Amino acid sequence: MSRKITFLTLFLLLMTVTFPVIAQQKTDTTYTFRFVPQKDMFYVPWNGNDTELARLLECIENSKATIFDDKLPLLVDGYCNSLGGEAENLTTAKIRANRVKSELITRAKIKEENFITHNHATGGDFVTVRLTVPVKETAVTDAEAEARRKAEAERLETEKRTEQERLAEEQRKAEEARLAAEKAEAEKAALQNALAGTPSETKITNDYHLSLRANLLRWATMTPDLGLEWRICPSCGIAVNGSWTSWSWNDKDRRYALWEVAPEIRYYMGEKKAWYLGAMFKAGQFNYKLSETGKQGDLMGGGITTGYQLRMNKALGLDFNLGLGYLNADFEKYEVIDGVRVRRGNETKDWWGLINAGVTLVWKLF
C-alpha cells in the first residue's frame, strides 16, 4: 500500500513539473491567403481563402487576451513576384498585406499595433499570417514551424512552375495559330494572283489604255465635243478635247459658231488613281451674234485643271473636271445690214477665272 502511495505521489509530482512545459510546446500556426497573380485585391471566397480566414478568426478569438496584452503578435508577410520589377512587387505585396490586416481588424476587432508586417518581392502571390510563441518555447516547436514553412514554400514553387508551364504552352499555341493564319493568308493571295493571271504589283497596268471622251455639258448647249485620252502610265495621262458648232437662225441674222481645241496633261493621285491635277492649253475661234451686234475673233489661254474620274464599269466612267486660268479674246464687232456684215471696230478682252467645266463621259477603247 505504501508503494502505491509513493508511486502516485511521484506521478503527480512529475505531471506538475512537466505540464507547463507541455503547455508551452504548442507549434506556430501559419495561415496562407492566395492572391491572383499581378492583382492586389483580397478575394475571400477564392481558392480556399474563406476556410483559412475562418480558421484564423477562431484562433484569434481563442487567443485574444494574449494578443491584446502584446504577448502574441500576428506576423504578417506579404509576397509578390508576378510583376516586372522589385519595387512593383514590394508595393503590391504591401497592399496585399494591408488588405488582409484590414479584414482581420474589421472582423476580429484587433488593432494595427497587434501586427508585425514584412513584405517580400519573392516567393509567390500570397500573404501569410503566423501566431508566434514566446521565445522560451522548445526547439521542437521551431523545427515543426520551419518544416511547415519549407513545405509551403515547396508547394508554392510547384504551383508557380505549373503556372509558368501553362502560360508557355498558351504562348506556343498562340504563336502557332498566328503563323498558320499568316500562311493561309499568303496562300489565299497567291491563289488570287494565279487566278488573275498577273502578280498583284502589275494589276495597275490595266489603266494603260486609250479612251474616247465626250463633254456632256457641251453637248447640252448644242456644241458637239469629242476627245481622246491616253494613259501613258498609271499616274500620267495626255488628253485632248475638241468642240465645234455652227448654228444660224432668223434668216441668218443670228449666229452661234465656234471651234476649240484643248490639250491637257494630267497627273493622277491616290491609291485608285481617280483624283488628278493637270495643265491645259486652249485655242479657238468664235462667231457670236445673239443681238444687233456680233463678235467674231480668236481666243487663247490656259490654266490649271482638277477633277475626279468615277468608274461605272470596266468600259465606262464619268470625268468631273474644272479649269481655272486665263483667256484672251481678240475680236471685231460687226452688224448685218441688208445681208452684208459691216465692221464696227476691234476689241480685246482678258479673262481670269473659270475657263473650263465638264461632266465628261469616258469610254475605254482598249
Would you state the pLDDT for residue 208?
Answer: 61
User: What ranges make up the beta strands (E) of the chain?
Assistant: 29-34, 74-79, 115-120, 126-131, 210-215, 225-233, 236-249, 254-269, 275-289, 294-311, 316-337, 340-364
What count of residues does the chain have? 366
Would you state the pLDDT for residue 129?
Answer: 92
Cα 252 to Cα 260: distance, rounded to the nearest angstrom: 22
Cα 228 to Cα 364: distance, rounded to the nearest angstrom: 10
Would you state the pLDDT for residue 237?
Answer: 93
Break the chain down into helix, strand, coil percent, rounded to 5: 40, 40, 20
How confident is the chain (366 residues) per 10-residue block, as mean pLDDT? 49 44 53 92 88 90 82 90 90 93 89 90 90 53 78 87 90 92 89 65 54 92 92 92 90 87 94 93 91 90 95 92 94 85 88 92 90
Question: DSSP string spanning 41-76?
Answer: ---TTGGGHHHHHHHHHHHHHHTHHHHHTTSS-EEE
